[in-house]
Amino acid sequence: MTSNFLLKGKKSFAIICFILFGIGCKPNLIPSTNIKSTRENREIVKFLENYKAAVEKLSVDAVMELAAKDFHDNVGSEDPAKHLDYLGLKEKLEKYFPRIKKIFLGMFVQHVAKIEKDKYEVVAYFNKEFEAEVPAGDKWFSIKEVVRFVIRKTTGNAKYPYEILSGI
């Protein structure tokens, strides 16, 4: 009887230790992300929140302030004619934003990785809900997408600590 009691006590202790160990070893994540909370990661997420706010304001200028002058994106196409540079991005936003009445952008950052010195890959999930003008009248749309950004740390007196090289 005593050995049964000791065996049950050891099992209970082992289970409690396992639970506490599991809870204690969870990484501290930034809210609404899968990203470990470090100073650098918090800065990157805050920078992307600026992007989110610029899009929700439907401000071409605010989005362009976040893009690097050497911005380039292949927009998922091998055709160089479809690729976007900084000026092409501005033209695209100037066409797209006036057709949007309202936009809500949900953002969940899934991944941040340093690619090379001062360059990072950031993968974010976006849930866009927007009202747009279409020939039949105004209509609400919902688009879910995963975007891969490449961002670079800025230097000097830049307004933001990072700039977007690709991925808008």
Tokens 């600026």 correspond to what residue?
50
SS3 string, 46-108, reads: HHHHHHHHHHHCCCHHHHHHHECCCCEECCCCCCHHHCEEHHHHHHHHHHHHHHEEEEEEEEE
Residue 168, pLDDT score: 85
pLDDT digits (tens, 9 = 90+) for 68-114: 999 999 988 889 888 999 999 999 999 999 999 999 999 999 999 99
What is the predicted pLDDT for the residue at 8?
57
Q: Which helix (H) or strand (E) holds 116?
A: strand 100-116
pLDDT along the chain (168 residues), means of 10: 53 60 68 91 96 97 97 90 93 95 95 95 96 93 96 92 94
Helix (H) or strand (E) holding 109, with range, is strand 100-116
pLDDT (0 to 100) of residue 32: 83
φ/ψ of 15, rounded to 5, equals -65, -45
Q: How far apart are CA 144 and CA 108, in angstroms?
A: 11
Domains and CATH numbers, the chain: 30-166 (3.10.450.50)
The model's pTM is 0.81
Q: Say how far apart CA 125 and CA 105 lie, in whole Å.
A: 10
